[in-house]
């Protein structure tokens, strides 16, 4: 691994996380799940709290997310996404489902397009995707503060781009152009980002 793991990613790198999910999918490996749980359960809960959920609800949803991971691990495909992207998408869909009053662990939308990108990545891309979260985090750090702020408000606080314009007291067009600039820059730094 040529790339240093970012400090906040902590104990495990992307390949290790992917290995754990694959072991759960193939063998219902409880030990692998415990390790994955230790990594993700606090993060998912913390993420939901940051999104404004009351503590008890964040616990419930984090629990549903972990249950979905345990039950659906065999549908995870390392070639298609990093584990962090997969877990994020499950948590997001459960969160959305909840405010649509449909929440149930067996109803996670596995047809979500984010879970099945269109192209099969080339072999040398697998390495890049395996590095996913850390590479993306590093690229995010290189963004100008005003662009990164827009992405943080969207993902961390769940604000729509028009809410972000209101929050930052900016014209909607300015927010749109910051999103566009940020995505263009991320694609340049990450190469395989389409």
Partner 1 sequence: MSRRGYFLEQGWYLDHAAGASMSPGQDMLLRSHLEVSVPARAHAVSMARIGGAMLESVEDKGELAFDADDIFALDEAFDAARTPPEPAAAIPAAAVDRPECLPAVLCDFIDREGIKLRWEFLGPGLRKAMLWHGESDERLWLLRARPGVAIPRHGHRGTELTLVLQGSFLDGDQRYVRGDVEEADPGVEHDIQIGEGEECICLALTQGKLRFDDPLLRALQVFTGL
Residues 10-29 that bind partner 1 (CB under 8 A): none
Q: Six-digit token pair at 78?
A: 């390392």
Contact 107, 59 (CB under 8 A): no
Q: Which residue among 149, 167, 176, 185 contacts partner 1 (CB under 8 A)?
A: 176
Q: Which is nearest to 72 in space by CA: 53, 57, 93?
A: 93
C-beta of 123: minimal distance to partner 1 in Å?
18
Q: According to the binding rule CB under 8 A, does residue 136 interact with partner 1?
A: yes
Q: According to the binding rule CB under 8 A, does residue 105 interact with partner 1?
A: yes
Q: According to the binding rule CB under 8 A, does residue 107 interact with partner 1?
A: no
C-beta of 146: minimal distance to partner 1 in Å?
15
Q: Which residue among 92, 103, 108, 147 contacts partner 1 (CB under 8 A)?
A: 92
**Interatomic CA distance for residues 61 and 65, integer angstroms:** 6
Please work out, in degrees rounded to the nearest 5, the angle formed at the alpha carbon of residue 80 by the alpha carbons of 74 and 84.
Answer: 75
C-beta of 2: minimal distance to partner 1 in Å?
19
Contact 14, 83 (CB under 8 A): yes
C-beta of 37: minimal distance to partner 1 in Å?
4
Contact set for partner 1, span 44-63 (CB under 8 A): 44-47, 49-50, 55-56, 58-59, 62-63
Contacts 24+ apart (CB under 8 A), 117-125: 117/80, 117/81, 120/79, 121/79, 121/80, 121/192, 125/192
Q: Which residue among 1, 3, 42, 142 contacts partner 1 (CB under 8 A)?
A: 42
Contact set for partner 1, span 61-80 (CB under 8 A): 62-63, 66-67, 70-71
């Amino acid at each position: 691994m040529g790339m240093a793991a970012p400090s906040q990613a902590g104990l495990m790198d992307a390949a290790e996380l992917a290995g754990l999910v694959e072991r759960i999918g193939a063998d219902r490996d409880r030990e692998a799940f415990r390790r994955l749980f230790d990594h993700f359960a606090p993060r998912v809960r913390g993420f939901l709290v940051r999104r404004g959920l009351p503590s008890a609800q964040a616990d419930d949803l984090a629990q549903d997310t972990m249950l979905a991971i345990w039950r659906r691990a065999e549908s995870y495909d390392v070639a298609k996404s990093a584990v962090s992207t997969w877990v994020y998408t499950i948590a997001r869909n459960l969160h959305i489902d909840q405010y649509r009053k449909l929440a149930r662990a067996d109803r996670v939308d596995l047809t979500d397009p984010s879970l099945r990108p269109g192209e099969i990545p080339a072999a040398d891309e697998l390495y890049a995707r395996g590095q996913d979260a850390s590479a993306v985090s590093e690229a995010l750090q290189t963004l100008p503060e005003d662009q990164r702020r827009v992405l943080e408000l969207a993902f961390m606080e769940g604000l729509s781009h028009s809410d972000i314009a209101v929050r930052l007291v900016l014209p909607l067009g300015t927010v749109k152009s910051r999103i566009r600039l940020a995505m263009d820059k991320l694609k340049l730094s990450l190469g395989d980002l389409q």
